[in-house]
Amino acid sequence: MFQSRHSITLLFNANKVYDRQVIEGIGHYLQTSKVDWDIYLEEDFLTRLENINDWAGDGIIADFDDAEIRTALADLTVPVIGIGGSYQDKNDYPSGPYVATDNLAVVDAAYNHLKQKGLEQFAYYGLPHDKDHRWSEEREKAISELTKQDGYNCQVYLGHNTSPDTWQYSMNRLADWIQSLPKPIGIVAVTDSRARHLLQACDHLGIAVPDQISIVGIDNDDIARYLSRISLSSVTQGCFEMGYKAAKFLHRKLDGIEIKNNIIKVPPTGVAERQSSDFKALNDPHVIQAMQFIRQNACRGIKVDQVTDYVGISRSNLENRFVAERGHSIHTELHNEKLARACKMLKETSVPTKEVACICGYPSLQYMYAIFKKHFDVTPTQFRDNHNKNKVASLAYEHEF
């Protein structure tokens, strides 16, 4: 039997991937529980706080990283569930129920990912300090403390808030900072958007990613991932789980159930590893140069001769250097790069296999089929189907506090 209907307001700005995933988690709770809620959300998914007291409804779930939202809801009498970042100082948390992304765990995931690659120099690219970016300050504190504990020094750069008027200046100053860094180095970016700044600046400067600079973002935003030629490694926050837990929090409040622990911290789900952090210690500058060219052009169907022409040394010389550093030939590296790209596209997109073959530089769909049969003993279509089946199985879990 459904409980009595409630009117619930969601206050988020869904132009951010973080907020969209939180909303998705809230929706999942609605679908899997027996609540009977009417959800109010602006048609353009942007928060408006005018006359909030007149239309707050029976309860609110809101983005408390937004200082304006947090202040506007402070005196409301209806149940309010806040969602935002975690804090090292307990006094910084709001007084009511609050579901937080664990900023320390998020940064630790990115940092450990880079450490496991064998890197020993680290940097952080954050955001200027202001009232709406307190979560960025918490991540800055986290990376500074984590690296200090391990005996490393972390170079911190906060950069500038970007706009059409300041874009060129901001990117020039970022380029200056990147050039000043020791290399090789791993950089944790506060968001995927900031990580994309790094990728663009490195591309303009001719700095090899990940051989000289390895980059990990935070958010695992599909949009940011495809806006650079080098695919971005990123920490996936537990936003979906946060939305689910916030909805469950509100459900309990509306039912008058006592909540003993007002603060719940949700860890990240892991690091989505892609090219930007695929660091392998390379010492030979010719091999580093070749690897940069291969990563950017392998799927354009380039051959070994084009790689050697780009580097500017003889084929035999580069082949010997390549085998010494990478343990295999240039041809194998080209093959591996195309295969890895095809596998990612089959796993992460619904692009038809014929288009995947074309995008990844295979001369025909039949040729790509032969490659997959040789390496995986399945066709590309079967490879995709098997991945989707495993993905569905892994999502079949029960959400509990």
Backbone angles phi, psi at 40, to 5 degrees: -105, 125
pTM of the model: 0.75
Give the pLDDT confidence of 286-336 residue by residue, as tens digits.
Answer: 888 898 889 888 998 899 999 999 999 999 999 998 898 888 999 999 999
CA distance 156 to 154: 6
Gap between the Cα atoms of 47 and 70, Å rounded: 12
DSSP state letters, 238-271: -HHHHHHHHHHHHHHHHTT---S--EEEE---EE
Q: What is the pLDDT of residues 179-219, one digit of tens each?
A: 999 999 999 999 999 999 999 999 999 898 998 999 999 98
* pLDDT given at position 371: 94
How much is the pLDDT for 169? 93
Signed CA dihedral, 357, 362, 368, 374: sign only? negative
Look up residue 92 and give its DSSP letter: G
Same CATH topology for 6-101+239-268 and 103-236+272-277: the answer is yes
Please, what CATH class does the domain formed by 6-101+239-268 belong to? Answer: alpha beta
List CB contacts of 178: < 8 A, sequence separation 6 or more.
198, 201, 202, 205, 207, 213
Measured CA to CA in angstroms, residue 11 lies from 63, 132, 238, 294, 368 at distances of 6, 15, 19, 45, 47
Question: CB–CB of 269/244 below 8 Å?
Answer: no
- For 73, the 3-state DSSP assignment is coil
Mean pLDDT rounded to a whole number for the chain: 87
How confident is the model at residue 222, as a pLDDT?
74
CATH topology of domain 285-391: Arc Repressor Mutant, subunit A (1.10.10)
Gap between the Cα atoms of 278 and 113, Å rounded: 10
Instruction: Give the pLDDT confidence score for residue 72 in this predicted structure.
Output: 83
pLDDT at 1: 38
**Residue 376 CB neighbour total at 10 angstroms:** 14
Quickly state the pLDDT bin for 39 (edges 50, 70, 90): confident
Q: Where exactly are the structural domains of the chain?
A: 6-101+239-268, 103-236+272-277, 285-391
Q: Which amino acid is at 395?
A: L
pLDDT for position 258? 77
Instruction: Name the architecture of domain 103-236+272-277.
Output: 3-Layer(aba) Sandwich (3.40)
Q: Could you say which DSSP state residue 45 is in? A: S
Nearest residue to 44 (alpha-carbon basis) of 12, 6, 82: 12
Average pLDDT of the segment spanning 61-86? 87
Q: Is 234 left (phi over 0), alpha (psi -120 to 50) or beta?
A: beta
In this predicted model, what pLDDT tens digit does every residue of 94-137 receive, in sequence order?
Answer: 888 999 999 999 999 999 999 998 899 999 999 999 888 899 99
3 state SS of 220: coil
Quick one: which H or E segment has residue 124?
Answer: strand 122-125
Instruction: List the beta bridge partners of residue 98.
Output: 82, 263
Using CA atoms, how far apart are residues 243 and 39, in angstroms rounded to an integer? 14
- Note the pLDDT tens digit of each residue in 211-258: 899 999 998 887 766 677 788 999 999 999 999 999 999 999 888 887
